[in-house]
Amino acid sequence: MATGERVGSSLLWPVEARLAALLPDLLVFRKPRGSEPELTTAQGVLLGVHVMGFTALMDRFSLTCKSEQDMDKLAHIFSYYISDIVEHVLCFGGDVLNITGNVLLALWTVEQNQLSDIITLVAKCSLEIQEKFGIYHTREGQDLQLKIGLSAGRISQVIVGDEQRQYFLVIGQDVDDVQLAQRLAQANEIVLSWNCWKLCEQYMFEVEIMREDEAVKLRDMRTIDPFDFDEHFDKCLDYLPHYRTSSDILRTALELDPDSALEKTLRKHIMKNLLKKIDEGQPMEYISEFRTMTMVLVSLEFHKTARMLHFCHLIQEAALYISTVIETGGGQLIRIFVFEKRCTFLCGFGLPGDKKLDECTRALESSFSIFRFCSENLAEIKLVSISITNGPVFCGMVGAVARHEYTVIGPKVSLVTRMITAYPGLVSCDEVTYLRSMLPAYNFKKLPEKMMKNISNPGKMYEYLGHRRCIMFGKRHLARERNKDHPLLDREKELEAFRMAQQGCLQQQKGRAVVYEGGKGYGKSQLLAKINILAQKEGRRVLPMKLKEADSTQCFYAIQTLMAIFFELDTCPACYRQECLHIQLRGVVEEPLHCLFNDLFFVKVMKQWLPELDSNAMKSTVYSISPASSGEDQELYVCTVKDDVNLDTVLLPPLLKEIAVNQLDQLSPEEQLLIKCAAIIGHSFHLDLLQHLLPGWDKQKLLRVLRALMDMHVLRWCSKSQELPAEPILLPSLIEIIEQTKETKKTSDAGCPLRLQEELSLPQTVVLEFGAPLLREAAWELWPKAQLIALHLECACFLRDLACRCGSCCGGDFVPFHRFAVGSTNCSRRTSRFCSYRSTGSVLTPVITDRLQLPSPQDSFQLQTEPSRSLEAFISEHCRTEDEFLDEVNRRLAQTSHKKDRLATKPCHCEQILKSVLSPLTQHCLVIGENTCAFYYLLEAAAASLDLSDNYMAFFYLRKASSLLGQPSAFSFLKKRKVKISQFEEATFCHLRSEVCFNMGQIALAKKLARQALRLLKRSFPWTWFGVLFQTFLEKDWHSCSPSQPSNNPSEKKKSLAVLQQQVHCLSLLGQLYNLEATPSSRRFACLAALMQKNSAEELAHDPQVVSTYVALSQFSQNVGDRDKWLHCEQMAIQKSSLCWFSREGLLATARLLQALAYTKLCLGHLECSIKLGFQAHEICRHLKRPALENLVLSVLFRSAFLKKKFDLCVHVLESQRALISRYHDVLGLACFYSACLDLLLYGKGSLCRPFGECLHFIQHYEHSCVLTSRSNVMLGFHSSLALWFAQHSQWDLFEHHFSKAHQLVKRTNASLFGSHGFVRFLECHVLMLQKLPGGVFMHIPPETHSQTLKYFKEFFSRCATCPVYYQWVSELKASVMRCGKRELMSLTNITRPFDTCLTRIWVEGEFLEEDNSFEDSLGI
């Protein structure tokens, strides 16, 4: 309903009031007499309003391809337009009898002596309607106009039906007159019937007499003194006993006291589908839907000689039979109309709750049964005509709040009315019904095309002849042909059944039958089409045939048709069929047996003596086809989506939607409503938001319905884990649903697996998801667009305040200080078309809600609560030592909870917030058209995904954000964005894209985007070496150039902090990007980025950020081999870490510092200390749920354990690393993992980790990945380890292959741990190559001298000065090369076994003499 929300105060409507709003006052206030048909008469004035142009508008929509969207626009236009007219009629005291199609009929019931005054009142009402609503301009260019007819006199009221269902009609000459007056009127005209003209005060009207038609055209009302219309209006109110008594409501019928007898009477006039939803308490706004229906219109034309009472009895008899037949077929009789002696019955198949997949067949069979009954059994019948159409329609409420009706609107509804006139005396149907019925073609007869008013392309029409037995056979091809570009997914089991049957048939020379059965739409035809192709590829002859349901009534039809196709009789003329059969059977079947085919092929062969026949039974296997499901060994396909395609807005194919809607209609009304509301939220949904969308539902009801849906597997838990979190999150009061264990169920008295908990928490267990995603898509598409937008708006407003970091992360934005940087824009107001619901009914009142706005800085709760300090205080703080820091770490970790491996701090729930809040919030914003807000939350979601190391989801959100902005122009002055965003958001967008590109190996693009982000943040990064020198000079003198005093405005201060945070992130990213390249130029750029990052971080004066920055600078210095700066920056990070334990961000900085210290101790050779620090860092990382940092910690921990020869510990670390990487498709993490596995394999511990074949398969598959090609350090170690493995197995050609690749990478590595390790492995390969050169085993590697090899050792000691842990072994390798150069024997024992030249072989005299497993039990990974 479009404008009913303008009604005033809120009311609590009982069920009687909700029923009364659907019915006219004549029914509400009548006194039942108890016999049907019930006929009464009264005097009154009728007003008929016809909306012109509506059918033409429907025809215009029907010509487009977007029928669902067009139906929505159409229904919205009509409902909005007609609601104003309804309200106007009610204000003048009229009783709206019905709203049918594009016609409204209203009645003023009065005494005969009051007719003239009421005619004046109705005429004034009509003039005002024409003045206010006479022309409605639509955006589609088709204007809607009104023509109005008036009549007055005796009105007959008829009620037909039975005790279960009744229908209200008004008939009589004056009813016919008002319809005739409507037809005589032109656009924006008012026509009075002749009887109405004779009864009115004629002197008061300016009219034009239409003598030929015996009607009067009303021009205007004369202003005659002392006539006062207000006084006349008050006088007329005395004649209208049911006129409203309050200005707050338009109908007295809505204020009636509860009355069970009245309710029982009114319920008979409402369809059972609608009654169920009213009883369920569903708001009227939730009832309307868009769905595909089959419309049936039955027109009975009686002889004009039929008397009134007899005519009513005929209608009663027809109504009872039609409603019985239609309901038996699964449909509903919606409405009955009478004009003159013609009675029309509008029926629908597929209404909400009644959907059937074979509704077209049911409609045709029911129609033909009605046609025969009415033609043969109804007296006085002149002509029976029935038309059937199938297509998308709007079925729901139209009108105002006080008076509305449940109706169907759509082009197919208009078409079905036109077909009655075009094809009288027939059962006609459109082409869609003909095709979807799947009935044999011989049951139909094609009709000639005819022009229909306001319908430009009605399509092909057919006459339905009923079920006929047609003896025939012929070629029936398969309905579908396979598209080679569309693979058949997840049908390997069914295809294998066919292959096995075919193989058995060929080998054993016996027949085989494979029967596939499954529901409609499950893919049987597609499967058989695929089998057709497979058989033809093998040179087999295929006889395709499609059977219809009606063919089952004909004996031997299937075998008859198959054999006719086999013998090629289907294309043979009938006169030559016998001769053709003889030719085909000659030499195959003895001629005396030819007579067996007489009845089968309709031939006449002379019968002869027949020998006894022996036959072999066919073995058949039945395979039931179910919807496709995923399997572990299924072949994977890649779906490429075009740039201009948004998968979120792609509608379901019609057949799939029909299947899903059929399943939805099998649920109860309350289950359907829950599914429809859950579909609004998304594939997964949180229960408190779901309850927010379900007006009037208490917790017990919600849980009861949820339990039923979960038992049917329609819904399921989002996660199998039912463990509740220990700490709350910043969310409002939620419903917590916990599935009890089997033991709890046995001891539970209530027996309900669901319980409530009123807490401020977001437990994972209250997030559910659809077990049938197809059902969710179909339920979402059922909503009208206006209501869809309103519900998405409610969801967005609900989630907006929850779109922040979790409580343990101290709230705040995922993009730091995001809301302060962009501010909040004031938007226009929007009406959320909701009804406020109470347990007794629906209160349809206006609920004005602000349009979705960006988060306001005033809404920042717990947002970056750590106070900012002045730069002077920050610099002059106490500086603590490494020992003090480690003592603090030990003390804090000792204060853990009793739970094993749990820190006492709150666990992080940001991942759940991303999935349950941010991700659906972006979709809600897109649906309601709030693209600016959508862009804001897409950035937040991308930043959250990167925090959680989910690079692919970050790419997904940024791709959506990019599509919102549109394609930028090549010329900056032509650059126009679809969405207006701030410069800060554009910079953030570039930074996030740069980070994603970095993670995906797109280094050049990442650099470009990072520079672009810095430029937008007013912190440019130079492009040339001269610019680097100049910028370095400025940065070194930064303290004197930096601003002295920050702004005193808190909002401006936080806005500047947002900019500084982004600058730090961009500079850190640039440093990492340039650090990947080992060239001097890249090193200069990386050093400048590190210096600028340090200065920006100190200006930010934020402890965790400064600690993280110094950690990054420390590791950068180690990578470039600057030992002094490396240790200095590490010490600075320790000094600034005093306050890092008081927030989650600080804890993260502490974890990074611990990881850096473990890394440092490893590089320096302090392995025991490195392992201990690694444990501590891992404990914090696991609690913080930071996969990227945790993976880095595990890599360091593995390397320390490996060098310490703690192989069991190495295996535990690798198992933890594998489990961590498996959550996200991290190629770099997998490369590190398999590189570590190769280290264990080379040491002879292959049984403890992954097999070599798996490691080799990984590198072969991902070797050319952009992610790995940009990581020379990792790839150098990988290829060198592979070369050593192949050398160990004397596969020298493969050794050469991988050694040559390592040789190309060695120049591009740095002094990092991975780079140093790879260099050591490369040196081992080099030494091994020198050993084998005299044997001539190398064919493609150019020979190198010992002096050339020694240059690599010199380069190692020069480059890897910050990684002395490998010095002893490299020195030993170098000594062996020098001795070999002097033609001395190699000191390594078994030269023929390259395995013995592995890294750990040298540690026989040092501290690594024996394996040490002292830390095995302490690893809680």
* Torsion sign, CA atoms 1138, 1144, 1147, 1148: negative
Which distant-in-sequence residues (6+ apart) come within 8 Å of 315 by Cβ? Answer: 37, 158, 160, 169, 336, 338, 343
In tens, the pLDDT along 1204-1223 reads 888 888 888 888 888 888 77
**Is residue 443 within 8 Å of 465, Cβ to Cβ?**
yes
In tens, the pLDDT along 674-690 reads 999 999 998 888 888 89
CA dihedral 485, 486, 487, 490 (to 10 degrees): 170
Whether 1420 shows a pLDDT value over 60: the answer reads no
Tell me whether strands 166-171 and 38-52 are parallel, antiparallel or unpaired.
unpaired
d(CA 672, CA 291): 14
Burial of 759-778, coded b for 16+ CB within 10 Å and e otherwise, reads eebbbbbbbbbbebebbbbb
pLDDT in the model for residue 730: 28
Q: Which residue has the higher pLDDT, 636 or 540?
A: 540
Q: Which residue has the higher pLDDT, 334 or 455?
A: 334
pLDDT in the model for residue 862: 40
Average pLDDT, the chain: 77
pLDDT in the model for residue 1101: 66
Average pLDDT in the 683-709 region? 89
Q: Which of 1063-1077, 1300-1314, 1333-1347 has the lowest mean pLDDT?
A: 1333-1347
The packing angle between helices 919-928 and 951-965, to 10°, is: 20
Best-predicted range by mean pLDDT among 136-145, 389-398, 462-471, 833-842?
Answer: 389-398
d(CA 344, CA 181): 20
pLDDT bucket at 1347, cuts 50 / 70 / 90? confident
**Is residue 394 within 8 Å of 291, Cβ to Cβ?**
no
List alpha helices for 858-967, DSSP H. 871-875, 882-894, 910-913, 919-928, 931-947, 951-965
pLDDT bucket at 1061, cuts 50 / 70 / 90? confident
d(CA 416, CA 821): 58
- Phi, psi at 1379, each rounded to 5°: -65, -35
**982, exposed or middle or buried, with CB in 10 Å at 0-12, 13-18, 19+?**
middle
Whether 259 shows a pLDDT value over 80: the answer reads yes
pLDDT in the model for residue 607: 52
What are the tokens at 734?
Answer: 């939620």
The packing angle between helices 1050-1075 and 983-999, to 10°, is: 30
What are the tokens at 1001?
Answer: 């190996």
Whether 738 shows a pLDDT value over 50: the answer reads no
Helix (H, G, I), strand (E, B) or coil at 345: strand
**Is residue 859 within 8 Å of 801, Cβ to Cβ?**
yes
pLDDT in the model for residue 630: 40
The packing angle between helices 1187-1203 and 1167-1184, to 10°, is: 160
pLDDT bucket at 346, cuts 50 / 70 / 90? very high
In tens, the pLDDT along 1087-1126 reads 888 888 788 877 776 667 777 777 778 777 877 777 888 7
**Is residue 648 within 8 Å of 777, Cβ to Cβ?**
no
Cα separations (Å) of 1382 from 255, 909, 1376, 1385?
113, 65, 10, 9
pLDDT in the model for residue 1345: 65
d(CA 19, CA 21): 5
| Backbone φ/ψ region at 519: left (φ over 0), alpha (ψ -120 to 50), beta | beta
Q: Which residue has the higher pLDDT, 1142 or 525?
A: 525
Average pLDDT in the 463-486 region? 63
pLDDT bucket at 463, cuts 50 / 70 / 90? very high
pLDDT in the model for residue 1335: 54
Query: C-alpha angle 776/779/781, rounded to 5°?
Result: 110
pLDDT in the model for residue 65: 47
In tens, the pLDDT along 1295-1307 reads 888 888 888 888 8
Q: Which residue has the higher pLDDT, 629 or 147?
A: 147
In tens, the pLDDT along 142-197 reads 888 999 999 999 999 999 998 889 999 999 999 999 999 999 999 999 999 999 99
CA neighbor of 121 nearest in space, from 206, 229, 242, 208: 229
* Residue 543 CA to its chain's centroid (Å): 42
Q: Which residue has the higher pLDDT, 98 or 717?
A: 98
In tens, the pLDDT along 1257-1267 reads 888 888 888 88
pLDDT bucket at 967, cuts 50 / 70 / 90? low
In tens, the pLDDT along 214-251 reads 899 999 988 766 567 888 888 888 888 888 877 778 88
CA neighbor of 96 nearest in space, from 125, 74, 133, 53: 125
pLDDT bucket at 1273, cuts 50 / 70 / 90? confident
pLDDT bucket at 651, cuts 50 / 70 / 90? confident
Q: Which of 433-442, 469-478, 496-505, 586-595 has the lowest mean pLDDT?
A: 469-478
- As beta bridge partners, residue 447 has 461
pLDDT in the model for residue 49: 94
**Is residue 1107 within 8 Å of 1137, Cβ to Cβ?**
yes
- As beta bridge partners, residue 299 has 344, 385
CA dihedral 1113, 1118, 1122, 1123 (to 10 degrees): 110
Tell me whether strands 619-624 and 512-517 are parallel, antiparallel or unpaired.
parallel
pLDDT in the model for residue 1396: 38
pLDDT in the model for residue 120: 92
**Is residue 1074 within 8 Å of 1089, Cβ to Cβ?**
yes
Whether 924 shows a pLDDT value over 50: the answer reads yes
- 3-state helix, strand and coil shares in percent for the chain, rounded to the nearest 5: 50, 15, 35
d(CA 723, CA 753): 14
CA neighbor of 188 nearest in space, from 125, 132, 130, 127: 130
